[in-house]
Chains A and B, each alone.
Chain A
Amino acid sequence: MTGSTTGSAPALGWLARLRTGLSKTAGALGGGIAGLLGGRKIDRATLQELEDQLVAADLGVRVAGRITKRLGDTRMGRELTPVELREALAEEIAGVLAPAERALDLTAAKPFVLLVVGVNGTGKTTTIGKLAARMRGEGRKVMIAAGDTFRAAAIEQLRVWGERAGAEVVADAPGADAAGLAFTALQKAREAKADVLLIDTAGRLQNKADLMAELAKIVRVLHKLDTTAPHAVLLVLDATTGQNARSQVEVFRGIAEVSGLVMAKLDGTARGGMLVAIAEEFGLPVYFIGVGEGVDDLQPFRATEFARSLVGLEP
C-alpha cells in the first residue's frame, strides 16, 4: 500500500486523458497565440493579445494582466517564435501552479476521514465514486457516507457509485440530519476498520449562511469523535465556473476548513483557468482533476502539464 494516492497514476493514461481533455482547451488558446505571431517582436500589442487569450481561458483580468506583464518584463523587445512564446507563457503559469501540485497522504489516520464539499452540481458525488475506486485499486478498504440527505435520489446515485467502486455505502433516510449521519458513519468505519471514510455532502451555494452553518456542524460533530477528523476536506470546483470560483474557495475554506481542491469537468471546452488565480491567492493543493464521467476519469493534478496544456503545448 503506498502512502500517496496520486503516486500510482499510470503515466500513459494520464497523458492520453489529459490530451483528450485539455487539448480541446489548448486548441483554442494555442491556436490563438500561434495566430498572433510568426516570430515577431514582443511588444505591447502582442502582450495585450496574450492577455486576452488568458482572459478567455478564465484566468481573470488581474491575473492574466500580471502574468503577461511578467512575460513582458523579462522578454520585451525579444523576437520569439510562437512555440517559444507559448513555452515562456507556460513557464510563467507553471511557476504559479507548482506549489499546488501535492499528493494526498492518506496514512495520517485510520480511518482517514475525507469530507467532500462544494456548490451544487460541481461533481462531488461523482468525484467520490472515482476516488473510492482509485483507493480501492490501491488496496484500501473504503467506506462512503451518503451525507447528501437533501437532493432527490442523491443516495441512490451514491449507491451506484459504491457498487462500481466496491465500497460500502452508509446511508440514512432522505431528510435525515447530515451531521448525525456523518457521526454514525465514522463510528461504523472504525468498527469495520476501514482505511478511508469518504463523506458526500449536499451541494450548497457559499452565500447561503444557513446551509454553510450546516456544513460547519458536520465538521464539528466529526471533531467530537476524533479531534483530528476530518483529516482532509476537499472542495470540488467545476471547470466551467468563472470568477465566482474564487469566492467559493474563500468561503468554504473559512467555514469548512477546506484543505485541498479537485477540479471536475476538465474534459469539456472550459479551461479552468481560475485555478491559476486560486493557486496564487490561497496556496491550497489541487489533488485531482476530473476528466469525464467514467470511474477512471480522475487524474492527479500536474502543474507543468496543466500549464502547458493551457497554452496549447503537448504535456
Chain B
Amino acid sequence: MFDTLSARLGQVFDKLRGRGALSEGDVDEALREVRVALLEADVALPVVKDFLAQVREHAVGQEVIRSVAPAQMVIKIVYDHLVSTLGSEAAGINLAAQPPVPVLMVGLQGSGKTTTTAKLALRLQNENKKKVMMASLDVHRPAAQEQLRVLGEQAGVVTLPVIAGQQPVDIAKRAMDAARLRGFDVVLLDTAGRLSIDEALMAEASLVRTAVRPSEVLLVADALTGQDAVTTAKAFHARLGVTGIVLTRVDGDSRGGAALSMRAVTGVPIKFLGAGEKLDALEPFYPDRIASRILGMGDIVSLVEKAKATIDEDDAKKMEAKLLAGSFDMDDYASQIKQMRKMGGLDGVMAMLPGVAKAKAQLAAANIDDKLLARQLAIIQSMTKEERRKVKILDASRRRRIAEGSGTSVPEVNKVLKQHRTMADMVKKIGKLGPKGLARHGLPGFPGTAGFGRN
C-alpha cells in the first residue's frame, strides 16, 4: 500500500530539471514526499515538522554526487539526519550505583512492561552476570503479579514473594530491603499500566520513584503506537524523569515512527527493542535499522554509501571527458558493468535509478539480470583490444570466435553489440548537451536509464 519513499522521490526528480546542486525548489518538493512518508510511518506531526525544517537547512545547496540520482541524495540526507536524531550511542543499562540498583519499568497499559522486565532480568543475569530480583508493583491488573512470577520461573530469575493487599510503595521498599539483605545487584520493579492523564496512578508511580530513587526509569512503549507517542512520552518524562525507552513489538510490521517521536520529544535514548514474546527476544537498539524502517526503503542508503566509495573520482573524470567527446567504446561499456556489479548488482543499482519502476519494467521485459551481466562481461573480455576499441570490425567470424571463447552464443554477442550501440548513441546525445546534460544524467549510470530495454 505504501509507495516506497525512493519511488516517490524518483517521480519528483524525474519531473525536475537537472542541476549540479539541490535547489530550494528541488528540496521543498522532495520534502513534501518525505513528510508523507514520515507520517505514514507514524512519526508524530510536530516531530515531523521540526525534523523537516532541520533537513531542509541541510539539504539546500548540497552537491549531487554524480553517480547518484538526486532522489537518492535527498534520501541519504534525510536518513543521516534520522540516524543522528535517533541517537547513535549504544546505551546500555546504567548500573553504576550502590547495589542493589533499582530499575523502574513504566508505561501505558499493555505496552509490554511485564514481559520486558523478565527479558531484561534474564539478560542482566546471563550476560552481565548480575544477581537480579524482580518485583511486581502491579496491584491493579488481574493476575499481574502471578504473571511476573511465572515469567521469573521461566527465566530462572528470583521474584519477590507476593503479600496480598500490599501497596506499590511498600512493595518497592520491601523489594529493596530483601535485595539488600540477600546481596542482589539489581532490582527490576514492574508497575501497572497507566494512562499519562491518570493523575492518581501517575502520583503513585512518582511516590515509588521518590521512595527507591531508581538509577533507571524505563518507558516501555509499543512500536505500533501512532501520533499519541509524543503525548505519552512527554507526560511520562515530565512526571517520572524517564532515563531510557524500550520499544516493544518491533517484530511486527509497523514502520516504527514512534521511535523518532519519543526520542525527539524526550531526548532520552532508546535502549532496547523488544522483538518477540519469548524471553530472549530483547535486542540492543540500532538507529540505522530503525531509520531505514521508518523510511521504508530497505538498503538503498547503504547503496548510496557504496556508490560514493566505489566510484573512483578520477575514473569519473575520465569518463566524463569521454562522454563529453561523445565517444564510448566497449571498454567503457565493460567498466560500467563492472561498476554496477561492485555496487551490489542490478537489483541494488535499480533502486538508485530515477524512474525506478519504469526502468525496472523495461529491464524485466528485456530479460536482464545479474547473471546476464556476468555473461556480457565475459563476452567483452573475449574481444581483442582492437575489437574493443573499434566495434565495427566485428564480422561474423570474429563474433563466432568471441561466442566460443566466452562460452556463449552468437546471438548473445550480437545483443551485447546492439546494447553497446544504443548506449553509445545516448552518449553522443549527452555529449551534445554539454556538462549540464551530464550533470542531469550523472554518469549515464547504466543501460537501464535509457534505451537499454528498447531492443
| Chain A contacts to B: CB under 8 angstroms | 24, 28, 52, 55-58, 60-61, 119-123, 150-153, 156-157, 159-161, 203, 205-208, 238-247, 265, 267-271, 273-274, 293
Inter-subunit contact A244/B254 (CB<8 Å): yes
Contacts of A151 in B (CB 8 A): 147, 277
Contacts of A243 in B (CB 8 A): 40-42, 226, 254-255
Contacts of B231 in A (CB 8 A): 28, 269-270
Inter-subunit contact A240/B39 (CB<8 Å): no
- What is the chain B residue whose CB lies nearest that of A202? B277
The CA-CA distance from A195 to B19 in the complex, in Å, is 72
How many residues does chain B have at the interface if contact means C-beta atoms less than 8 Å apart? 47
The CA-CA distance from A93 to B390 in the complex, in Å, is 69
Name which of A24, A61, A150, A267 has the most chain B CB atoms within 10 A of its CB.
A61
Contacts of A208 in B (CB 8 A): 251
> Closest Cβ of chain A: how far from B257's Cβ, in Å?
7
Q: Does B381 contact A (CB under 8 A)?
A: no
Inter-subunit contact A242/B224 (CB<8 Å): yes
Q: Does B408 contact A (CB under 8 A)?
A: no
Inter-subunit contact A153/B110 (CB<8 Å): no
Grouping DSSP codes into helix (H, G, I), strand (E, B) and loop, the B interface class, with mixed when no group exceeds half, is: loop
A268-B253 CB under 8 A given contacts A151-B277, A152-B150: no
The CA-CA distance from A56 to B140 in the complex, in Å, is 31
Q: Does B112 contact A (CB under 8 A)?
A: yes
Inter-subunit contact A152/B151 (CB<8 Å): yes
Q: Does B222 contact A (CB under 8 A)?
A: yes
> Closest Cβ of chain A: how far from B141's Cβ, in Å?
7
- Nearest 9 CB-CB pairings of A with B: A242-B226, A121-B110, A160-B142, A242-B42, A153-B147, A156-B143, A270-B228, A152-B150, A244-B254
> Closest Cβ of chain B: how far from A23's Cβ, in Å?
11
A/B interface sample: 22 pairs, CB < 8 A: A55-B227, A152-B147, A153-B144, A156-B143, A157-B143, A205-B252, A206-B253, A208-B251, A240-B108, A240-B225, A240-B232, A241-B222, A243-B226, A244-B253, A244-B255, A245-B226, A267-B195, A268-B196, A269-B196, A270-B227, A273-B227, A293-B141
Inter-subunit contact B277/A241 (CB<8 Å): no
Inter-subunit contact A119/B252 (CB<8 Å): yes
Inter-subunit contact B232/A269 (CB<8 Å): yes
| Chain B contacts to A: CB under 8 angstroms | 1, 36, 39-42, 44-46, 108-112, 140-144, 146-151, 154, 195-197, 222, 224-228, 231-232, 235, 249, 251-255, 257-258, 277
Contacts of B147 in A (CB 8 A): 151-153, 156-157
Contact of A61 among B39, B111, B196, B254 (CB under 8 A): B39
- What is the chain B residue whose CB lies nearest that of A155? B143
Inter-subunit contact A274/B252 (CB<8 Å): no
The CA-CA distance from A211 to B40 in the complex, in Å, is 26
Inter-subunit contact A242/B195 (CB<8 Å): no
Contacts of A161 in B (CB 8 A): 142
Grouping DSSP codes into helix (H, G, I), strand (E, B) and loop, the A interface class, with mixed when no group exceeds half, is: loop
Inter-subunit contact B249/A56 (CB<8 Å): no
Contact of A242 among B140, B227, B232, B235 (CB under 8 A): B227
Inter-subunit contact A293/B249 (CB<8 Å): no
Contacts of A28 in B (CB 8 A): 231
Contacts of B196 in A (CB 8 A): 268-269
Inter-subunit contact A238/B224 (CB<8 Å): yes
Inter-subunit contact A247/B227 (CB<8 Å): no
Inter-subunit contact B253/A207 (CB<8 Å): yes
Instruction: Give 14 new A-B contacts, CB below 8 A, not counting A56-B44, A157-B141, A242-B227.
Output: A57-B227, A120-B277, A152-B147, A152-B148, A152-B154, A153-B143, A239-B228, A242-B42, A243-B40, A243-B41, A244-B252, A245-B226, A246-B1, A265-B108
> Closest Cβ of chain A: how far from B375's Cβ, in Å?
37
- What is the chain B residue whose CB lies nearest that of A250? B1
The CA-CA distance from A97 to B154 in the complex, in Å, is 45
Inter-subunit contact B110/A269 (CB<8 Å): no
> Closest Cβ of chain A: how far from B217's Cβ, in Å?
20
Contact of B226 among A120, A153, A241, A293 (CB under 8 A): A241
The CA-CA distance from A72 to B20 in the complex, in Å, is 39
Name which of A152, A247, A273 has the most chain B CB atoms within 10 A of its CB.
A152
- What is the chain B residue whose CB lies nearest that of A205? B252
Inter-subunit contact B146/A52 (CB<8 Å): no
Contact of A58 among B142, B226, B249 (CB under 8 A): B226
The CA-CA distance from A152 to B195 in the complex, in Å, is 23
Contacts of A240 in B (CB 8 A): 108, 222, 224-226, 228, 232
Contact of B249 among A120, A157, A247 (CB under 8 A): A120
Name which of B109, B144, B148 has the most chain A CB atoms within 10 A of its CB.
B109
Contacts of B46 in A (CB 8 A): 56
Contact of B112 among A121, A265, A269, A274 (CB under 8 A): A121
Inter-subunit contact B146/A150 (CB<8 Å): no
The CA-CA distance from A265 to B107 in the complex, in Å, is 14
The CA-CA distance from A206 to B254 in the complex, in Å, is 10
